[in-house]
């Protein structure tokens, strides 16, 4: 990995908190809790999911991958976490603020890591060996972008025209 690739990925990680701030700023509680389809997550639940995945999955995994050789990276049962954490009744703004703090921790952890360390490997419980770089790409594409689009779609569906 080259330094410019690392910087590009870090810029992507840094952008989500700003996007979420802008998106959630004027949404009322009804919109935050609204589920487009029964048993699908609301914006509030997605926000809580992003916070918990940042803490329990991504940041924790990066730290382990940087300090341990080939650590096992346990899978996270996100549906169980949402149910047990009662996401639908949590404070969305508090979840956003905690997410922003955690994301800064993630970026700071990765920013201080030389590009050659981004090839360190962890063994994901269900997906097998994965480098830090691969995990960052997965976080951006599979988690951040996916859920941001999902939240924007819910806002578009909910808004009266």
DSSP character at residue 42: P
Q: What's the confidence (pLDDT) of residue 58?
A: 96
Task: Say which CATH number the domain at 107 has.
Answer: 1.20.120.450
> Is 31 inside any structural domain?
no
> Is 34 inside any structural domain?
no
> Is 89 inside any structural domain?
yes
Q: Residue ranges of the chain with pLDDT lower than 50?
A: none
Which structure tokens are listed for 82?
Answer: 């949402």
Q: What's the confidence (pLDDT) of residue 73?
A: 95
Q: What pTM does this model have? A: 0.93
* Rounded alpha-carbon distances, angstroms, from residue 118 to 9, 53, 56, 126: 11, 20, 20, 21
Q: What's the confidence (pLDDT) of residue 158?
A: 81
Q: What's the confidence (pLDDT) of residue 157?
A: 87
> Is 38 inside any structural domain?
no
Residue 51's contacts (CB-CB under 8 Å, 6 or more residues apart) are 95, 96, 98, 99, 102
Residue 36's contacts (CB-CB under 8 Å, 6 or more residues apart) are 153, 154, 157, 158
Residue 123's contacts (CB-CB under 8 Å, 6 or more residues apart) are 70, 71, 72, 73, 129, 130
Number of structural domains the chain divides into? 1
Strand order across the beta sheet in which 72-73 lies: 72-73, 121-124, 128-131
DSSP labels, 103-142: HHHHHHHHHTS-GGGGG-EEEETTTEEEEHHHHHHHIIII
Q: What's the confidence (pLDDT) of residue 149?
A: 95
User: CB of 17 within 8 A of CB of 129?
Assistant: no
- Domain of 97? 3-26+44-158
CA distance 136 to 62: 9
Arithmetic mean of pLDDT over the chain: 94
> Is 9 inside any structural domain?
yes
Q: What's the confidence (pLDDT) of residue 127?
A: 92
């Amino acid at each position: 990995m080259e330094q410019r690739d690392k910087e590009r990925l870090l810029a992507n990680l840094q952008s989500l908190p700003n996007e979420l701030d802008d998106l959630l700023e004027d949404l009322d509680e009804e919109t935050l809790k609204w589920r487009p389809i029964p048993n699908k997550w609301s914006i509030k639940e997605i926000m809580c999911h992003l916070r918990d995945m940042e803490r329990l999955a991504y940041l924790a995994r990066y730290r382990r991958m940087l300090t341990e050789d080939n650590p096992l990276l346990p899978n996270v049962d996100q549906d169980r976490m949402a149910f047990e954490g009662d996401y639908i009744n949590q404070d969305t703004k508090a979840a956003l603020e905690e997410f922003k703090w955690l994301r800064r921790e993630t970026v700071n952890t990765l920013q201080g890591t030389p590009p050659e360390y981004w090839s360190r490997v962890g063994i994901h419980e269900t997906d097998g060996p994965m480098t830090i770089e691969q995990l960052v790409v997965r976080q951006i594409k599979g988690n951040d972008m996916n859920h941001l689009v999902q939240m924007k779609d819910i806002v578009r569906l909910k808004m009266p025209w």
